[in-house]
């Protein structure tokens, strides 16, 4: 008499807990057609996000509705092809923007906010204004951190905020920028904070709150983290590896010092 079959173990559908590509199944030696089609679609969305046009005038108007006075600037990358092939150009302002910002920098400020397209203009269009709408009241509370300048920067890499902050005489700069698209998140926004910004700052000298999108870190969580880092960074006069998140326990989020460029 043969042994009885082992009891069937209940399986856990991991896909209910993560957008990652897990438990896809297989068809012969390959993945099922549906999984392949989903991968192809997500890859196309990621590519589209990288090449999407940045609507800076629309963003300036939307930020103006929040009561902010906004300046538009551009990097030395003249088009998207230039931007992708020459990351260094995205870290430097063009001559016209340097002159314009210098004219607006009559009074040094505590905090400058830079909003740049980065590697996903879609992320900026989808999340930057909504995030700022939640961040501004938190900055105004308690120690009342004042936002002195807001700059919308086209063709921007993260380090462009350092030059902008230096010209504006900002003690700290917060750069909101589209992150490199992933296959599960083509519209992820990142926030990068740098104390005493100036050209040449390294990634180790800035903090990052990343993965801000509808399936990632919420606007409320991100705003709370950014506001805490701004206040503590200004008080301790440091950002980066020397500034660790010590805020009250909240839902886990990614805070680090990495930069997409």
pLDDT at 245 over 90: no
If you search the block for the tokens 């990614």, which residue do you land on?
Answer: 254
Within-domain flag for 241: yes
Pair 240, 218: CB distance under 8 Å: no
Known binding residue 99? Answer is no
Calculate the dihedral angle through the C-alpha atoms of 155, 157, 162, 164, rounding to the nearest 10 degrees: 10
Q: What is the mean pLDDT of the chain?
A: 88
Please give the backbone phi and psi of residue 154, each rounded to the nearest 5 degrees, phi first. Answer: -90, 145
pLDDT in tens, 109-144: 999 999 999 999 999 999 999 999 999 999 998 678
Distance CA 213, CA 126 (A): 8
- Report d(CA 75, CA 123) in Å as an integer: 19
Residue 92's nearest CA partner among 74, 80, 117 is 74
24 within some domain: no
Q: Is residue 73 part of a domain?
A: yes
Q: What's the pLDDT band for 252 if we cut at 50, 70, 90?
A: very low
With tokens 């920067």, the residue in question is 153
Looking at the chain, the whole-number percentage of residues with pLDDT higher than 90 is 64
For the chain, the first-to-last Cα distance in angstroms comes to: 67
Condensed to tens digits (0 to 9), the pLDDT of residues 1-29 reads: 566 665 555 556 777 777 777 777 778 88
Domain assignment of residue 103, yes or no: yes
Note the pLDDT of residue 113.
97
Instruction: Show the domain range for 143.
Output: 49-256
pLDDT at 248 exceeding the cut of 80: no
Predicted pLDDT of residue 24: 79
In this model, does residue 159 exceed pLDDT 70? yes
Q: Look at residue 257 and tell me whether its pLDDT is greater than 70.
A: no
Answer yes or no: is pLDDT of 213 > 70: yes
- Answer yes or no: is 138 within a domain: yes
State yes or no: 158 annotated in a binding site: yes
Does some domain include residue 23? Answer: no
Residue 258 has pLDDT above 90, yes or no: no
Mean pLDDT of the region 143-161: 93
Q: Tokens standing for 243?
A: 């500034």
C-alpha distances in angstroms, 191 versus 11, 23, 25? 38, 32, 37
Give 13 or 219, the one with higher predicted confidence: 219
pLDDT (mean) for 182-210: 94
Ligand-binding site membership of 60 (annotated) = no
Give me the number of domains the chain comprises.
Answer: 1
- Give bridge partners of residue 176 from the DSSP assignment: 115, 191
Considering the domain boundaries, does residue 157 fall inside one? yes
Domain for residue 15, yes or no? no
Kindly report the CATH number assigned to the domain that includes residue 71. Answer: 3.40.50.11240
Helix axes 95-104, 160-168, angle to 10 degrees: 40
């Amino acid at each position: 008499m043969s042994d009885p079959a082992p009891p069937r173990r209940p399986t856990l559908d991991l896909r209910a807990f993560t957008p990652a590509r897990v438990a896809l199944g297989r068809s012969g030696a390959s993945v099922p057609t549906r999984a392949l089609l989903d991968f192809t679609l997500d890859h196309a969305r990621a590519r589209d996000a990288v090449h999407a046009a940045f609507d800076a005038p629309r963003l300036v108007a939307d930020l103006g509705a929040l009561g902010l006075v906004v300046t538009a600037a551009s990097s030395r990358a003249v088009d998207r092809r230039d931007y992708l092939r020459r990351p260094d150009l995205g870290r430097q302002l063009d001559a016209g923007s340097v002159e314009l910002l210098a004219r607006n920098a009559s009074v040094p400020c505590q905090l400058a906010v830079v909003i740049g397209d980065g590697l996903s203009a879609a992320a900026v269009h989808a999340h930057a204004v909504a995030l700022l709408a939640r961040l501004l009241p938190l900055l105004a509370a308690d120690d009342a951190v004042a936002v002195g300048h807001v700059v919308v920067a086209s063709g921007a890499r993260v380090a462009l905020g350092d030059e902008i902050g230096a010209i504006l005489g900002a003690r700290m700069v917060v750069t909101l920028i589209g992150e490199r698209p992933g296959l599960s998140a083509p519209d992820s926004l990142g926030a990068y904070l740098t104390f005493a910004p100036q050209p040449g700052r390294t990634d180790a000298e800035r903090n990052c709150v990343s993965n801000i999108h509808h399936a990632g870190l919420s606007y409320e969580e991100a705003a709370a983290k950014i506001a805490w880092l701004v206040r503590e960074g200004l008080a301790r006069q440091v950002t980066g590896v020397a500034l660790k998140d010590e805020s009250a326990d909240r839902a886990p989020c990614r805070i680090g010092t990495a930069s997409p460029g």
